[in-house]
Amino acid sequence: MAPRSAYQGELTKLNKEVAMMGSLAQDMVSKGIKAFLNGDEVLIDEVVALDSEIYCQEQVIERHCFEIIALHQPVASDLRTVSSCLKVVTDLNRIGRYGCNIAQLGRGSGHPMDRHDSLSMMGEKALSMVRDAVDSFVKMDKVKAMALLDMDVEIDDMWESMFQLSLGCMIEQPQDISALANGILMARYLERIADHACNIAERTAFMVSGVRLHRSARKKMPRLNIETSTQRETSADGYYNARLDEK
């Protein structure tokens, strides 16, 4: 029998739990985007119902991590793995809840078709980043994780372009302001989802190598050259109250 087999079993179980939570977070984002873009009320309800499920999974993993720390005193790569799981579940919970937020934007709203494709494309991009982030974390694949960090710039550019475009549309089509504002919010949520995916990627790199990435090495900040960027942003999602050019 391999040494500390019970301990190894716990670490394997923890890895599976994170993989499962990652899969749920992806599901919530995927369905949230679909629900918003199609205005599908049934799907919206389904995604909203998953909110409590992802919270429960976060709690289970957090308790499991504490149990492993208390009972097995992990060190070195094991400690990095357990501490990384503790951090990553917060990102996954946020990703899932952004999926829920996106779905809720779809309640009773109409969507200007000219932006449907752009949002769909941005959604696919963000979703693929979450998929890669979870995959790299679960498989401890640092190379894949590092590649994700480069992709974050693309999402930031998409968000910036979507924001500028929507502002123009609001001036030209004031009757669509509500729907356009929802589109901006969705784009913003997708950009945040991508950021959380990058957090997971950063954590993966640390977990595998033990070296923390310097924040400045991660990405350049999104550029929003508009007057409002100097103002404090009102809390759009109830969790963040930062300038648009801050992360």
Partner 1 sequence: MSSIVVNDLNIWFDDKQALRDISMTIPEKGITAIIGPSGCGKSTFIRSINRMNDLIPNCWIKGKVMVDGKDLYGPDVDVTEVRKRIGMVFQRPNPFPKSIYENIAYAPRIHGIKDRKQLNEIVERSLRRAALWDEVKDRLDRSAYELSGGQQQRLCIARALAIEPDIILFDEPCSALDPIATARIEDLLSDLKNEYTVVIVTHNMQQAARVADRTAFFYMGELVEFDDTSKLFERPDNELTEKYITGRMG
Binding-site ranges for partner 1 (CB under 8 A): 2-4, 7, 73-80, 210-211
Tokens, residue 46: 């389904």
Kindly tell me which of 42 and 76 has the beta carbon lying closer to partner 1: 76
Long-range contact set of residues 83-87: C-beta below 8 Å, sequence gap at least 24: 84/137, 84/203, 84/204, 84/206, 84/207, 85/14, 85/18, 85/61, 86/61, 86/62, 87/199, 87/203
- Nearest to residue 22, comparing CAs of 143, 133, 161? 133
Name the one residue in this structure whose structure tokens are 């924040």.
215
Minimum Å gap between C-beta 217 and partner 1 is 18
Minimum Å gap between C-beta 220 and partner 1 is 29
Minimum Å gap between C-beta 211 and partner 1 is 8
| 63, 131 contact by CB (below 8 A) | no
- Nearest to residue 158, comparing CAs of 193, 181, 190, 130? 190
Minimum Å gap between C-beta 212 and partner 1 is 10
Tokens, residue 37: 């873009």
Kindly tell me which of 78 and 195 has the beta carbon lying closer to partner 1: 78
Kindly tell me which of 12 and 77 has the beta carbon lying closer to partner 1: 77
Minimum Å gap between C-beta 207 and partner 1 is 11
Kindly tell me which of 77 and 109 has the beta carbon lying closer to partner 1: 77
Kindly tell me which of 2 and 171 has the beta carbon lying closer to partner 1: 2
Exposed e or buried b for every residue in 193-222, given b needs 16+ CB within 10 A?
Answer: bbbbbbbbbbbbbbbbeeeebeeeebbeeb
Minimum Å gap between C-beta 171 and partner 1 is 54
Separation CA 169–CA 177 (nearest Å): 8
Kindly tell me which of 82 and 185 has the beta carbon lying closer to partner 1: 82
